[in-house]
Amino acid sequence: MDNTDFWPDATSLANPKIRVTHLGSHAQVTDMHLFNVAVSGGAVFVTLDKKFTAALRAVEKTHVRVLDF
């Protein structure tokens, strides 16, 4: 069973759907870009990074799931 979809990336952090003023370093750019893609597509961004949601607004946090292993 194939449960995958290809999403073309038509987003940019230059015109984001999320707030990006809290980007602290280049290390966060990829995660924030992928998060922007998820929010733009109405999806949920899944991460293992427990600190990822720290700077997000409440409305943005609804688009994130942090896995706890």
Instruction: Supply 52's token pair.
Output: 């990822």
Instruction: Supply 36's token pair.
Output: 């922007």
Digit-coded pLDDT (tens) for 4-22: 888 888 888 788 778 777 7
pLDDT tens for the chain, 69 residues: list them. 577 888 888 888 788 778 777 776 777 888 888 888 988 888 999 999 888 888 888 988 999 999 987
Q: How many CA atoms lie within 13 A of 12 on its CB side?
A: 2
Rounded Cα gap, residues 18 and 31, in angstroms: 12
